[in-house]
Amino acid sequence: MTASLVIFFVLAALAVLGAVSLILQRHPIHSALSLIVVMVALAGLYLLLGSEFVAAVQIIVYGGAIMVLFVFVIMLLNDGEEERTNFSKLATFAGIPLAVAIAGFIGAAILSSSSTLPAATANGSLTSSKTLSMLIFTDFVYPFELTSFLILVAILGAIVLAQREN
């Protein structure tokens, strides 16, 4: 077992545990904290795959900016613990079979294709941020600009919604 495999399993376990705890926690702040753990663990996984820039941006944007906003809003509303009810009928009769079915499909897909799965970059080299930005602004410039346009529309929508109250 190589060192990178050990690190992978630690980070993967951290990410999965964080995700499970995100759902199981009763308090919104604790859920948000669990989500931050997931984000940071994912950043570690990106780093392991050799994309250092994406790893850093993952923490700066998701771990830093977006989750801080989440925590800020939860703190501002000062919401209490969520209430638990028994499963609704829809959840018992439709949800559980659906979850089992999805888990089965994913498991079957992984099992059937495990022999043909391509290995991740094993050369250990890092994708420099220069190459990444060259790709973004030359080959993938249309998807990139479209995404930024989409975000701009979302920002405008937020402003319109906020203005309507006045």
Partner 1 sequence: MNEFLTQYAFLIVPIIKIALLVFVVLTVDAYLTWLERKVIAHIQARWGPHRVGPHGLLQPLADGVKFIFKEDPIPANADKVAYFLAPFITLMLALTSLAVIPFGPQKFTLWGYESTVGIADVNISLLVLFAITALGVYGIALAGWGSNSKYSLLGGLRSSAQMISYELSLTLSVVGVLLIAGDFSLRNIVEQQGTTGSGLLTWNIFPQIVGFTCFFISAIAETNRIPFDLPEAESELVAGFHTEYASMKFAMFFIAEYTSMISISCLATILFFGGWLSPFPAAWTFTHYLPSLILIPFGLWVIYDGIRYENIFGRILLPGVGTAFAGIGAALLVFPTINGLVQGPFWFFAKVFIFLFVYIWMRGTLPRFRYDQLMSFGWKFLLPVSIANVVLTATVILWRMR
**Closest among 61, 47, 53 to 11, alpha carbons compared:** 47
Tell me: does residue 88 bind partner 1 (CB under 8 A).
no
53 binds partner 1 (CB under 8 A): yes
Residue 78's alpha-carbon distances to 10, 12, 22, 29, 152, in angstroms, are 33, 32, 18, 9, 30
Q: How does DSSP classify residue 119?
A: P
CB of 139 to partner 1, least distance (A): 21
Please report whether residue 40 would count as binding partner 1 according to CB under 8 A: yes
Query: From the CB of residue 8, how many other CB atoms can be counted at a distance below 10 Å?
Result: 16
Question: Which tokens in the block code for residue 141?
Answer: 């410039």
Smallest gap, in angstroms, from Cβ of residue 146 to partner 1? Answer: 23
User: Which 3 state secondary structure label does DSSP give 102?
Assistant: helix
Q: Binding-site residue total for partner 1 (CB under 8 A)?
A: 27
Q: Which stretch binds partner 1 (CB under 8 A): 26-34, 86-94, 110-118, 137-145?
A: 26-34
**Among residues 65, 96, 141, 151, the one that binds partner 1 under rule CB under 8 A:** 65
**Interface with partner 1 by CB under 8 A: which range of 14-22, 72-80, 103-111, 152-160?**
72-80
Exactly one of 60, 101, 150, 159 binds partner 1 (CB under 8 A); which one?
A: 60
CA distance 119 to 127: 17
Q: Read off the tokens for 161.
A: 């919604």
Contact call for residue 126 and partner 1 (CB under 8 A): yes
3-state percent breakdown (helix, strand, coil) of the chain, nearest 5: 75, 0, 25
| Joined tokens for residue 127 | 């994708």
Q: Which is nearer to partner 1, 110 or 152 (CB)?
A: 152
Residues that bind partner 1 in the complex, under the rule CB under 8 A:
27, 29-30, 33, 36, 40, 43, 52-53, 56-57, 59-60, 63-65, 68-69, 71-72, 75-76, 78, 126, 128-130
